[in-house]
Amino acid sequence: MAIVRSKAPLRITFAGGGTDVSPYPEEKGGAVLNCTINKFAYATLETTPDGEGTTSVESLDYNLTINYQKESDLVYNGELDLVKATLKTFRASLSDGHGADSIRMFLHSDAPAGAGLGGTSTMCVALVGAFQRYLREPWTLYEVAELAYRIEREELGIRGGRQDQYAATFGGFNFIEFAGNRTIVNPLKVTPEVQNELAYRLLLCYTGASHYSNDMITQQQVNYAERRAETVEALGGTKQLALDMKNELVRGNLDQMGRLLDEGWQLKKRFTAGISNDRIDHLYAKAREAGALGGNLLGAGGGGYILLFCDFSRKADVARAVQDAGGGVTEFSLEPSGLQTWPVRASEA
């Protein structure tokens, strides 16, 4: 019996989200500034050489346990499709030299679905990491992230960009550039003092509703393909903002970074209709009145989490205002590590 575990961190995006979604990066190049937080997606992979070749997957988040006996069971029907796509991807490697091992998997995440924290992509990275460890594949971080991207975007056809897979794999503060078909991760050297102050001044707030990113991203792609001026200009402004905010962050100019968050939110609302709504607008307005310098809705839009940057003396006031407006404050800290995998002795499992 072999047991491996993996965990990959969720991310918060400061600027540039949306410029990593095709075809924008292939045509104009994209850029995203993000960092990972201490909320994770976890995967456990347990294999038993019993000759039966069955697969059992238990998802704590969806309260589902599903068994797969043969390839025809791996049909995409909305139930753990990400796991099925990953199993299909690794099917040949698992049968090559591993016989008919039975697989048992256990999955869970610290964030709800539709949170805007890159949860689906992060789980995909955790799954790839678990299989990489089990199969002893010598892949680079770039190869892991790109494989997770292909599983999610190409095999499953889930619309979205590339930032989530790379953030979850690399971890920490990153300025990620998307140039044509190439992705370049630039890890940022942010001093401990600046990191501590930034974490102290950020609030992560749940808007009270999840979002479904496929619809928003599809419409953004349509708007860009039709060269709608508002969308094209907003994406260009967002890309420039990621560069500007990166410069303010490494210089330690946090107040200016907070103000740029508000500029980014105003630009993001111009990508397509439905990114914001009355509930989100009300919550954001109340947070600003209470002392938030700026903020940005995480993910594609329509719901999930909003990230707020506060004046250091007004953070408690902003938190109360958010809660009074129907939102919820989530405690978090910044996470420097990316994907991690490790073996487990059977006696410890």
Q: Do 167 and 294 belong to one domain? A: no
Domain count, the chain: 2
> Residue 208 above 90 pLDDT?
no
**Could you tell me which residue, 42 or 74, shows the higher pLDDT?**
42
Selecting among 20, 101, 110, 164, the annotated active-site residue is: 164
| Mean pLDDT (whole number) for 130-143 | 96
The two tokens of residue 126 are: 């955790």
CATH at residue 319: 3.30.70.890
Does 138 sit behind a cis peptide bond, omega within 30 degrees of 0 on the bond before it?
no
Q: Do 139 and 243 belong to one domain? A: no
Q: Do 148 and 233 belong to one domain? A: no
Q: How confident is the model at residue 70 (pLDDT cuts 50, 70, 90)?
A: confident
Summarize pLDDT for 96-131 with one digit per residue, the tens: 655 567 899 999 999 877 788 999 999 999 999 999
Q: How confident is the model at residue 266 (pLDDT cuts 50, 70, 90)?
A: very high
89 is a domain residue: yes
341 is a domain residue: no
22 is a domain residue: yes
> Residue 293 above 80 pLDDT?
yes
Q: Do 178 and 310 belong to one domain? A: no
User: What distance in Å separates the CA atoms of residue 3 and residue 1, rounded to the nearest whole number?
Assistant: 7
Q: How confident is the model at residue 95 (pLDDT cuts 50, 70, 90)?
A: low
User: What distance in Å separates the CA atoms of residue 11 and residue 35, rounded to the nearest whole number?
Assistant: 6
Q: Do 199 and 175 belong to one domain? A: no
CATH at residue 104: 3.30.230.10
262 is a domain residue: yes
| Mean pLDDT (whole number) for 343-348 | 77
Domain that holds residue 279: 192-330
345 is a domain residue: no
Is 281 catalytic? The answer is: no
Give the end of a domain, one of 189, 204, 220: 189
Q: Do 184 and 198 belong to one domain? A: no
> Residue 200 above 90 pLDDT?
yes
Summarize pLDDT for 168-190 with one digit per residue, the tens: 999 999 999 999 889 999 999 99
Q: Do 196 and 156 belong to one domain? A: no
Residue pair 8/339 in contact by the 8 Å Cβ criterion: yes
Give the end of a domain, one of 143, 167, 189: 189
| Mean pLDDT (whole number) for 62-78 | 88
Q: Do 180 and 76 belong to one domain? A: yes
Q: Do 225 and 272 belong to one domain? A: yes
79 is a domain residue: yes
Q: How confident is the model at residue 71 (pLDDT cuts 50, 70, 90)?
A: confident
Q: Do 265 and 229 belong to one domain? A: yes
Neighbours of 143 (CB within 10 A): 14
User: What distance in Å separates the CA atoms of residue 47 and residue 297, rounded to the nearest whole number?
Assistant: 40
Q: What percentage of the chain exceeds 90 in pLDDT?
A: 80
Summarize pLDDT for 20-67 with one digit per residue, the tens: 999 999 999 999 999 999 999 999 999 988 767 789 999 999 999 999
